[in-house]
Structure 1
């Protein structure tokens, strides 16, 4: 079937699903199943077409709607963490991937540039901070900077600062995402330079084992905050087939959900930095365990689980539709 005929045959149903979403669970399951079948057909015969992209977006939105309206025995908060946040992460996966790639590119650029230009670290962190770090390395306690200050006050101060920075990432997304891109790139560069400061002294592996006790959750949350800002800017600049303000409202809603979702990550990361990172000398097995557990959690909850949840939704919708026949 030619693509034009395929569109003509199904266009009215697609527009109706978008403008007048099905009300009852049975209608939602039936419409979703039809849409998944259309999407499978389009991916087979028109894999690079805008029609395929449009159907993929509509299927994602409809699936999210099915789960948002699904009654759960658990509390509303539990439902948010179990379903809403992972599905929003999946729905906005392109923005998340873009934020991750941007952060990683500038991390690597700064890491290798700093190897050629040692003064770059002084420009970013200041002479006093760099000199103190170098003195700690010379004294055999390279990460001694994390042992200073009151643990509880450090936790609260770090937490408040990180949350403040993250909300700037998100809100500044309204300005076409440009400030968000700049700050996210700057953060990636800063960490790359910091890594090089230790790697140049033969402490590259120790850097990852110690700093990422708290850094795994903290950096993940920063990247997701950047993604939330990109979602906000993208929804206004590129509304697609929806009205601009309608698309912006949906983007803002998804962005807020992401920001709410990463708050615990900032709280826990700051707690780890204030109380546990400093234990790297006395309980290295424990800090290494925390780092490994954090990495596994991030990979599972923010990458694997959203995909599993989406695929499970497709299966549930198909089974529900089959049961109605």
Structure 2
């Protein structure tokens, strides 16, 4: 069958499905599941016979939205918050997984730029971090405590201040996505280059491990969460730039809801990172290396699992439940 004939034959069915999904015009979950199966069959057919067709992206989007609707109507959990973190967020992440790939790829590139620039220009670190901060850090290194800056202030004061600042940065990363994703890219650029230059400074002074042991106790979840909100910002930008078959207003609303869902999911991780920075990082200097390593790998492993692995597990369970 020619692609045009395939689209003509199924167009009305797809539009009905779209109405059912986005306006919840279906009688019960079984009806929705039946519609979903038809869409999956059409998607498989299109992927086989029209692999370069734009209709594949359209059907993929419909199927992804169906995941959330089916789970929402069939869920057993009475705890709305639990359902949000266990199901809604993972399905949203899976639906927009390519934007997570974009965010992490760009961030790693920006970190590399920071490292390379600092390695080839002695003034670069001071340009990025400022003379005052660099001089203070160098003095701390000479005094045998490279991450002494994290010992300043009270435990609770540091915890609250750092947590609020991280949430503020994450909100900017998301909201700036309204500029077609460019604003979000700028936030990732700033943080990536700063991180790369910062870590190279410790490497150049021969205290890289001491800095890693201190900074990444809280930094694993903190930095990871900022990149996640960057992905949310890219989702928002894509919703404005690429409305596909929807009106730009409808596409923006859909992207905003998905992005804000991902943004909200990072708040517990920012709180945990702030707690670690306020109450644990300050003791990194006297902490056994193994204890620091367990905390770093444990926090990084947990947040990586939640955003990079768990969404695929929930997606598979959704498909198998149909």
Query: What range is the shorter-chain TM-score in?
Result: over 0.9
The yes-or-no answer on 1:19 pairing with 2:26 is no
Deviates more, 1:91-100 or 1:76-85: 91-100
Listed one character per residue, the Cα deviations across residues 115-166 of structure 1 (whole Å, up to 9, x for unaligned) are 1112111112111211121122222222222222212111111111111121
Deviates more, 1:197-206 or 1:260-269: 197-206
Instruction: Give the match for residue 96 of structure 1.
Output: 100
Deviates more, 1:128-137 or 1:296-305: 128-137
The yes-or-no answer on 1:152 pairing with 2:156 is yes
Contact 1:111-1:193 at 8 Å conserved across structures: yes
Question: Cα distance, 1:297 vs. partner?
Answer: 0.6
CA distance, structure 1, for counterparts of residue 162 and residue 77 of structure 2: 36
> How is 1:117-156 mapped onto 2 (pairs within 5 angstroms)?
117-156=121-160
CA distance, structure 2, for counterparts of residue 261 and residue 238 of structure 1: 25
> How is 1:227-306 mapped onto 2 (pairs within 5 angstroms)?
227-284=231-288, 285-306=290-311
CA distance, structure 2, for counterparts of residue 60 and residue 283 of structure 1: 46
Cα pair distance change 1:69/1:299, threshold 3 Å: same
CA distance, structure 1, for counterparts of residue 6 and residue 204 of structure 2: 60
Instruction: Give the match for residue 44 of structure 2.
Output: 40
The yes-or-no answer on 1:58 pairing with 2:62 is yes
Contact 1:277-1:287 at 8 Å conserved across structures: no
TM-score of the two chains, using structure 2 as the length reference: 0.93
Instruction: Give the match for residue 8 of structure 1.
Output: 8
Instruction: Give the match for residue 313 of structure 1.
Output: 318
Cα pair distance change 1:118/1:71, threshold 3 Å: same
Question: Cα distance, 1:72 vs. partner?
Answer: 2.0
Listed one character per residue, the Cα deviations across residues 163-195 of structure 1 (whole Å, up to 9, x for unaligned) are 112111222221222222112111111001011
Instruction: Give the match for residue 320 of structure 1.
Output: none
Structure 2: which 5+ residue stretches go unaligned?
none
CA distance, structure 2, for counterparts of residue 288 and residue 173 of structure 1: 35
Contact 1:235-1:248 at 8 Å conserved across structures: yes
Contact 1:276-1:287 at 8 Å conserved across structures: no
CA distance, structure 2, for counterparts of residue 274 and residue 211 of structure 1: 12
Where relative contact order (Cα < 8 A, 6+ residues apart) is larger, the structure is 1
Question: Cα distance, 1:68 vs. partner?
Answer: 2.1
Contact 2:20-2:32 at 8 Å conserved across structures: no
Listed one character per residue, the Cα deviations across residues 196-244 of structure 1 (whole Å, up to 9, x for unaligned) are 0111123334433331111111111111222222222221221110121
Question: Cα distance, 1:276 vs. partner?
Answer: 0.8
Question: Cα distance, 1:309 vs. partner?
Answer: 0.7
CA distance, structure 1, for counterparts of residue 41 and residue 276 of structure 2: 47
Question: Cα distance, 1:249 vs. partner?
Answer: 0.9
| Alignment RMSD | 1.6
Instruction: Give the match for residue 110 of structure 1.
Output: 114
